[in-house]
Structure 1
Amino acid sequence: MLPAPLVLIPAEHVNSNSATGAIAGGVAAGAALLFAAPAIVLVWWRKKKPQDHFFDVPAEEDPEVHLGQLKRFSLRELQVATDNFSNKNILGRGGFGKVYKGRLADGSLVAVKRLKEERTQGGELQFQTEVEMISMAVHRNLLRLRGFCMTPTERLLVYPFMVNGSVASCL
C-alpha cells in the first residue's frame, strides 16, 4: 500500500486566509461586545435600582383621598361613636371582621365594620379600590356605604344602621 500523496499549499495563500479569518472574528467579537455591553449594564442598573416608586402617606395626613360622595371619618370619630369598639356594641362577626353599632356626633346611628388587619403590599390601594367599587353598587336591596376610615393600622367601613338587623338574621 502506498501512502497518500502530500499536497503542499503555498505559504502566502495560507496566511491570507488566516488573516481574513482573524479580521472577521475580531469584527464579529467587537460587534457582539458593542451590543452586549449596554444590555448587561442596563440589566445590572435595573436590578440595583429600587423597583418600588411608591411611598406611604399616613392616611390621616392625606386629604386627597376622596372616594366619590363618601365621607372620610377619622378613627377618633368612630372610636367615640362605638364607645371605643366596645363588646356591648358588637352587632355581628364575620370572616372579614366585627360589626359595631355606633352613634355619630350628629346623632345618626351607624354600623361600623372593622376589617381584620391584613398586612399586604398595596393594601391601601386595594382597600381604596374596594371602597370605590362598593360605593358605586346601587340597588334597592343593598345598603349604601356611608363612609370609610383608613389609617396605617385600621380599615373601617361605615353603613347606615339597620333597625331590623341584617339579612342573615332574617333568613
Structure 2
Amino acid sequence: MTELHQAAAAGDYDLVEEIVRNNSCNPNQKDLDWNKKTALHWAASKGQTEMVRILVENGARACLRTDNGWTPAHFAAESGRLAVLRLLHSLHAPVDKEDSSGDKPVRIAEIYGHEDCVRFLEKAEVESRNYRQMAISNGLPLDDTDEEWEEERKEARLQERNQ
C-alpha cells in the first residue's frame, strides 16, 4: 500500500493534496495486496467527495477496476455514497460498468438497500450511454475502459475455453 493509498483510506485530505501536488506517487497505482484498489477506490468507498475530486483532478482514472471488476462507482454504491456517485457521473466516469459477476453499481446499491443511489444510477446509466455515443460521434476523448483489466478478462476467458 502506497502512502497515497494510506492517506486516501484514512481520509487525510492534506496529505493526499501534498502527495498529488508533488507528483510523489502515481494516483493510478493499483495495490496488489488489496485486490488492486487505487486511492480513488478507497476515497469513493469512504464517501470522501472532495478527495475524489482532488484525485481525479490530479490524474486518477475513475475507470480503473479492482481484480473483481469494481470501479470507484461500485464502491460508492456499496456504501450508499450518493454525493460521490453524483460527482463521478458529473465527471463522465463510468457508473454503468459490469463487474466480473455481471453486476453494475445500480445492482450493488440495490443489494445494500441504498434506494436513493438506485434511483440516481438508473437515470445516470442512460445519461452515461448517451454521453458515450455523443462523444464517439464527435470524436471526443473517453476514459471509460481499464485496458489492463479487460486484457486480463480476455486471457481468463481463453484459458477457460482451453480447459
The answer to whether the superposition gives a TM-score over 0.5 is no
Higher strand share: 1
Which has more radius of gyration? 1
Q: Using structure 2 for the length normalisation, give the TM-score.
A: 0.24
Higher helix share: 2
Q: Using structure 1 for the length normalisation, give the TM-score.
A: 0.23
